[in-house]
Amino acid sequence: MTRLHLFDLDGTLMYGSAAPVELSRQLGLLVEIAELERAFSAREIGPPEFAMGVHSLWTALTPRHVRAAFDGAPWLAGIRDVWREIRERGEYCAVISLSPSFFVELLLEWGAHAAHGSVFPEVPFTRPVDVAGILTPEGKLEVADRLCERFGVSRADCVAYGDSMTDAVLFEAVPISVAVNARPYLAERATHVYEGRDLREAYRLVDVARPGVETS
């Protein structure tokens, strides 16, 4: 049996932060992004409005800022180790995030089989954002279904890792889910709950539940 492991990014692979926050940090716009994040969390705006908001904020964003934000982000420990082990098992790992694709896709360098984010124009921006390319929670499930087809698995073969309400649709669609440093709403709906800063420990919750794996 093979599996497809589906990872959220913001708050899941990244401890206590998010790609938009780290990108905004590079531009000295933490106050402005905090207000957008607050409005999004309060459901005052949705993913398209959030995307247009950050697009307006990031007029000075360059590839150098993107790389610095990625390299300096508070990533969980062990991400590459987990993805290496998944690959060695003959399984698959992918990242699906509402954050900008130009940031999310950098995780391919760490061994993800696939990385999908909201589609933004190339940096620096010379074009407006097309809201048709902005992912929603329901859109994350559509991406997951396409990945299932690509890798020859079904939803029944998937494990989802996430932290917030934007992951709830995916959690409901797959048999195994891991709430990683998650809000109570999602933790209550997860198969496993993990609090900490090491993805290897979160992954092990799934691994020890695998048929034929002994626990000690």
pLDDT in the model for residue 216: 35
Categorize the per-residue pLDDT at 4 as very low, low, confident or very high, splitting at 50, 70 and 90.
Answer: very high
Across the chain, mean pLDDT equals 95
Neighbours of 25 (CB within 10 A): 17
Average pLDDT of span 195-206: 97
Angle at 157 between CA 202 and CA 13, to 5 degrees: 30
Categorize the per-residue pLDDT at 210 as very low, low, confident or very high, splitting at 50, 70 and 90.
Answer: low
Q: pLDDT at residue 209 above 80?
A: no
Cα distance from N-terminal residue to C-terminal residue, the chain: 23
Categorize the per-residue pLDDT at 103 as very low, low, confident or very high, splitting at 50, 70 and 90.
Answer: very high
pLDDT in the model for residue 214: 43
Average pLDDT of span 48-70: 98
- CB environment 189-212: b (16+ within 10 A), e (fewer): bbbbbbeeebbebbbbbbeeeeee
Angle at 7 between CA 187 and CA 10, to 5 degrees: 75
Q: pLDDT at residue 194 above 60?
A: yes
Paired tokens of 188: 């209550």
Whole-angstrom Cα distance, residue 125 to residue 61? 8
Whole-angstrom Cα distance, residue 142 to residue 41? 22
pLDDT in the model for residue 1: 77
Whole-angstrom Cα distance, residue 55 to residue 42? 20
Average pLDDT of span 142-162: 98
pLDDT in the model for residue 212: 47
What tens digit of pLDDT does each residue of 64-88 get? 999 999 999 999 999 999 999 999 9
